[in-house]
Structure 1
Amino acid sequence: MSAQIGDVVDKSFDYVIIGGGTAGITLAARLSEDPSKTVCVLEAGDPNIDDPAILTPASYASHFGKKQYAWDFATTKQKMCTGKIFPWARGRGLGGSSGINYMVWTKPPAEEIDDWERLGNPGWNWKNFQKYIHRAERFVEPAAELREKFKIPLHEGDLGTKGALAISFPRTFSEVETYLMQAAKNAGIPAAPCPYGGNPNGVFWTINSIDQQTATRSYACTAYYMPNRDRPNLTVLPDAHVARVISDKDTNGNLTVTGVEFLHGEKCYVVHVNKEAIVSAGALKSPQILELSGIGSRSVLEKVGVEVKVDLPGVGENLQEHVYGGFSWELKPEYDFLGFNELQHAAGRARHEALYKDLAGAFTMGIVNFSFLPLEAIAGAERAQAICERARAQVNALDAARTPAGLREQHAIQLARFRPGVCPAGPGCEIIGMSGAAGALPTEEGRSYFSWAYGINHALSRGHVHITSDDPMVEPEFDPRYFEHEADLDVLVETAKFARNIAQHAPLKDMVAREIAPGPAVQTDEQLREFVKATYSTTWHTCGTCSMTPRDKGGVIDHELRVHGTNNLRVVDLSIVPLHIATHTQATVYAIAEQASDIIKGTFQP
């Protein structure tokens, strides 16, 4: 199904796509719809076709640490977190991270996509986002019995029904979900008015990237590659680790890409580019490929001996990330609910593997209880105002001469998002309810658990990705600079405090046997703050490292996704997002790739 080295080496293609992940495979499928155009995809990982380890839902985190499925990246030591190093896994193989993620399908607030346009990118707005995400979505309503039992609303008009990617609610909901939903509402969280139509403020039942008919993961490989794999003009080469793009300068000093150099089987090869090269290697690897190709900050490139072809200081900068943590409780013995924790025990796992053959049991569940809220709703107006003022003071204290104009514009938008009294306020605080104990917490077989996760989506802190060697096999430096803006920690702690308190509301308060994390030893605000700092992690929604921003404001690509200073090199993946959004990012990547395909084909109409 995939190509051999002889099908690619020294051959010429109209489009060469670097990376066969979520964006790359989606883009390849769309560009190859024109039989007169040839498309080559270079993917560093394996095909992983029809692999049950990928296709089985509720296989959360099972891929991490396994080279066949995941890149085991890691951050630098984080100064604000006592030198802690964070793992940053990413999908390895066709379909990329859509093959190993938690299958959450959410959409951002409409105004946050419109902010991209405000930052200098005409055509990148909510109207077009919905248009293009509908092209990807093939939503199937849940069975009437499930919809009635859990009071799942219809989403008519807000979701596409004829797209390539099957999305749905899971076949199975745990009974505990109704109690979690009711407790969230009793804690003051309103029902989200239009979670898939631009207003996710509140709590709602959440769709997953699951094929309801087969109870299998739906991802870029199954949706965009497998149905189109036999196209004669589509060539996909696995085990092809791209080193750099090869380019010439024109009379105006701009680069024209003529080829792509890649490693395969420890040998170096070249594929030739007729029209365009498109970098779709993700927010952690796309900047590395640009820098190895001589496109980036002069100070970074000269340090490792890479010839500077385009001095573009924004490459690898503006890194933004979401962070989260979690609390867990054990239920009283009389509450016996289906939960993910059953998969931690050999007997339970075997039982649910048998049930899965009949499309039932824990493997057919998903994570379905999400809330997105503004800081004011979490912390109250007075506390929110204090955090906002503290954040503004720190932003204003930055050396304006060293802060790109684009970042100053971003910070202005962010400060407005969580200012009390703003309507609509940005829902930068996130709370997730789920059956089972969070993470790797030990559980007792035969007992039931639930968890509340908490997170923030609008961090002020900015990090970077930069090469430290001219060797493409040496990973770049990943530094998110977590909590460089202390207001980020303030917001995370307030969200954690609110999430923990939900368990004190009916009906949960009378169902709890004990809190297992953080437990009774954590009582004061200071103890909670230290617990949050010690246990938080990342949702791996990294963006911004090839920011879609005008060049004079520190950007890397223009609104047509073309790298500044080049004629035929584009970037298409989450790295282009100039300002982070309150959502899980899977759906956004598909929307970006779908819109990019029309831009590249010349059929895009703003």
Structure 2
Amino acid sequence: MIIPAEQLSNQSFDYIIVGKCVACTAGLTLAARLAEEPNVKVLVLEAGQANIDDPQLLRPAIYGVHLGNDSYSWDHKTIKQKHVDGRESSWHRGKGLGGSSSINFLCYTKPRLATSMGFTDFERLGNLGWNWKNLEQYFQRFEGFSEPTEEYKKRTGVKTETWNVGRQGPLKISFPASISEAEVRIQQAFLNNNLPPQGCHFLPNNYDPQNHKRTYATNAFYLPYKDRPNYKVAVGAHVNRVLTENTRNSSWSATGVEFFDEASGKVRTVNATKEVILSAGTLKTPQLLELSGFGRKDVLEKIDVPLKVELPGVGENVQDHIFLGISWELKDDVPFDTLDLLRDPAVAAKHLELHESGSGLHTIGVIGFAWNSFDMFAPQDKQADIYDKMKDAVAKIDDKAHPGLREQFEVAMERFEPGKAGSPGCEFISFPGFMSGPNTPEPGKRYASILVAMNHGFSRGTIHSTSSDPRKDPEIDAHYFEQSFDLNIHIEMLRFARKVANTSPMKEMVVKEVNPGLEIQTDEQWGGMAICFRAKDEGSADEMAVDWLKKTFSTTWHTAGSCSMMPREKNGVVDTNLKVYGTSNLRVVDLSIIPLHFASHSQSTVYAIAEKAADIIKAAA
């Protein structure tokens, strides 16, 4: 099914799907579903390589080793960030078939409380039919959840009886064979801080319980379908632009794509008789639209690309999830292992052998989560202060410069309104090992970390082309902490994470905090971070604290929003059928369509968007 790109020159397919980065997750899913119709010819163009049956992708518990490795990831970088002392941030994305589903941390989560917030907010922003009631079926279509045994449930405390999850889909989802005792203790410490049980629980992984390997888009939506004669994939195919022609009704029709064939070094074209679908991800889809003549007039003028449809929302409204890690050294006599032991080459070799038999550290996953709204742990005065700052931000919005943003902020504010149950966008993840900075782990020591992830940020970034050269990355500006209360929320979460670490049964296993470290100790220091952020007190402990936060926070690689699905007059780029405004047959199917970010890791939603898109496209055929 993988064909040499040179064979595509001037060929025709009904549907051409452009995949790169995270969106080849969506691209393969969509292609497999469209190719269910035997008379439909589907082509997927992937810029990376196939990387099939690669143990570096399939082996769990080697988190982060792919990032920065040119064989597996694209190393995109933001420009220097104004509000974090000029720091650049690396936005790695999966390079190869399956996109970022091939290199993520295997966490499988779905948006919670989506009936009242999250997906239902999509509909409130003008997208009729995009609500949880309608979308839930698309999650269940691809989910292939394996129920854990009763013995496993008893041993770990996992409860799945009330889960509404698909069990017959092609993407295998299960709990890993082992759960670290460190995670069990951290979970109980969260519960002992009066967080509700429905927010604190273990969640499954993209993990095949039969062979104990990663499951991702390639082994779910490519390998089982690879013998279909109407489903073709070409790798090493870097799409330059969408080819279009103007139709009688003044809209533009996509006729194919131009791409660079890496193997031959030649530029080629391939034709589409029905549709072109961009699944190039939040970072690259807006660039492809701009290079094809769709976007902001001023951006296209600067790169000398003729304007076809003026869409000011292309590359705007970019939203990201961010996290910080806090790590603690564990006592030498704790009766369990952590992933830290894999740093020893001899131990790592032993656990590679154990993995073949379904045991060892490579059967441990990241599964411990506490999803909570801000009101569940933040002091009331902090809630009120941050909510007031949000209202101030809304009042300052220039509706002419940023159409639709006021409505987004007003909806997002409801997630933080004091005295009301909010959205569970404050996420705490337990990690059975060391994941923080800047201090490094000591050889032979074991650690536990809590990752503090804030999913409902208000700051909005941009992604725009700076050249007509498609191989040059666009300018990525995250605008991190442009809204100061994004920082305030994160601070309160960090304070709470430290409180959890000082609660039984977690505190009994801890020797000391390694990051941020003992020099930043008191609540007053944490609380002073926001003040220090606005006006540094040279040499103070507060400055040390805020300096640590700025230098060590990271993206969670869930970036969304750059081609938002909203009404066109509100800076929307695609309509509710995912069709680009001003075109008759050009669609976007990836995370860039999300108008307002939700409280979950994003990969499950990418699959669901692709499943829904398949139904939309089939109905229009």
TM-score by length of 1: 0.96
Gaps of 5+ in 1: 193-201
Partner of 2:4: 4
Name the counterpart of 1:125.
131
Q: SS of the residue aligned with 2:222? A: helix
In structure 1, what is the equivalent of residue 536 of structure 2? none
Quote the offset at 1:501 in angstroms: 1.4
Decide whether the 8 Å contact of 1:336 with 1:448 is kept in 2: no
* Counterpart code for 1:35: P
State the 1:138 CA deviation.
0.3
Aligned to 1:540: 557
Paired residues for 1:58-457 under 5 Å: 58-109=61-112, 110=114, 111-156=117-162, 158-192=164-198, 202-265=199-262, 266-404=265-403, 406-423=404-421, 425-439=422-436, 442-457=440-455
In structure 2, distance between residues paired with 1:286 and 1:343: 37
Give SS of 2:86's match.
coil
Residue 319 of structure 1 and its aligned partner are, at CA, apart by 0.2
Cα offset, 1:408, TM superposition: 1.3
Match of residue 569, structure 1, among 586, 604, 609: 586
For residues 324 and 250 of structure 2, what CA distance do their matches in structure 1 show? 48
Separation in 2, partners of 1:65, 1:55: 18
In structure 1, the residue matched to 2:535 is none
- Cα deviation per residue 1:260-309 (whole Å; 9 max; x = unaligned)? 00000321000001000000000000000000000000010001100000
Which residue number in structure 2 is paired with residue 514 of structure 1? 512
Instruction: State the distance in 1 between where 2:143 and 2:73 align.
Output: 25
> Does structure 1 residue 484 correspond to structure 2 residue 478?
no
Distance apart, 1:515 and its partner CA:
1.0
Measure, in 1, the Cα distance between the counterparts of 2:474 and 2:5. 27
Distance in 2, Cα, partners of 1:93 & 1:394: 40
Return the alpha-carbon distance in structure 2 between the equivalents of residues 557 and 120 of structure 1.
12
Would the aligned equivalents of 1:117 and 1:125 in 2 still touch at CA under 8 Å? yes
Alpha-carbon contact 2:331-2:510 (below 8 Å) kept: yes
Question: Can you list the C-alpha shifts for 1:467-517, whole angstroms capped at 9, x where unaligned?
Answer: 000010111001110011001001011111111111110112222111111
Q: CA-to-partner distance for each residue in 1:420-441, whole Å, 9 max, x for gaps? A: 1123x11121111121111475
Offset of residue 145 of structure 1: 2.0
**What's the CA shift for 1:156?**
4.4
Residue type of the alignment partner of 1:234: Y
Which amino acid letter does the alignment assign opposite residue 79 of structure 1? K
| AA matched with 1:467 | S
> More displaced, 445-454 or 434-443?
434-443
Distance 1:7 1:155 in 2: 51
* Aligned partner (choices 587, 591, 598) of residue 608 of structure 2: 591
Tell me the residue number matched to 1:531.
Answer: 548
Report the Cα distance in structure 1 between the residues aligned to 2:429 and 2:184, rounded to whole angstroms.
13
For residue 52 of structure 2, the aligned residue among 49, 54, 60 is 49
Q: Which amino acid aligns with 2:267?
A: C
1:28 aligns with 2:31: yes
- Relative distance call for 1:439 and 1:515 in structure 2 (3 A) is closer
User: Percent identity over the alignment?
Assistant: 46
> Bigger CA drift: 553-562 or 326-335?
326-335
Deviates more, 1:567-576 or 1:18-27: 18-27
Query: Which region of structure 1 is more displaced relative to structure 2, 526-535 or 256-265?
Result: 526-535
Name whichever of 540-549 and 388-397 sits farther off. Answer: 388-397
Contact 2:251 2:583 in 1 (8 A): yes
Change (3 A) 1:231 1:262: same
Shift of 1:157: 5.1
- Whole-angstrom CA distance in 1 between matches of 2:352 and 2:436: 21
Structure 1 stretches of 4+ moved >6 Å: none
Q: Matched residues in 1 for 2:394 and 2:213: separation? A: 45
SS for the counterpart of 1:176 is: helix
CA shift at 1:445, angstroms? 4.3
Cα pair 2:85 2:550 within 8 Å, conserved: no
Contact 2:397/2:405, CA 8 A, preserved across alignment? no
Aligned to 1:170, the other structure's residue is in SS state coil
2:501 is aligned with 1:503: yes
* Structure 1 residue 122: Cα displacement: 1.4
SS of 1:580's equivalent in the other structure is coil
Report if the CA contact (8 A) 1:493-1:529 is conserved: no
Partner in structure 1 of residue 533 of structure 2 = none
Contact 2:255 2:273 in 1 (8 A): yes
Report the TM-score when normalising by structure 2: 0.94
Name the count of aligned residue pairs: 593
Q: Name the residue aligned to 1:13.
A: 13
| Aligned residue type for 1:123 | G
Which AA in structure 2 matches 1:101? Answer: N
Structure 1 residue identity aligned to 2:515: A
- Shift in Å, 1:4: 1.3
Q: RMSD in angstroms over aligned alpha carbons?
A: 1.4
Q: For structure 1, which segment, 285-294 or 493-502, has the greater mean C-alpha deviation from structure 2 after superposition?
A: 493-502
Give the 3 Å change call, closer, same or farther, for CA 603–134 of structure 1 in structure 2. Answer: farther
Structure 2: gaps (5+ residues): 530-541
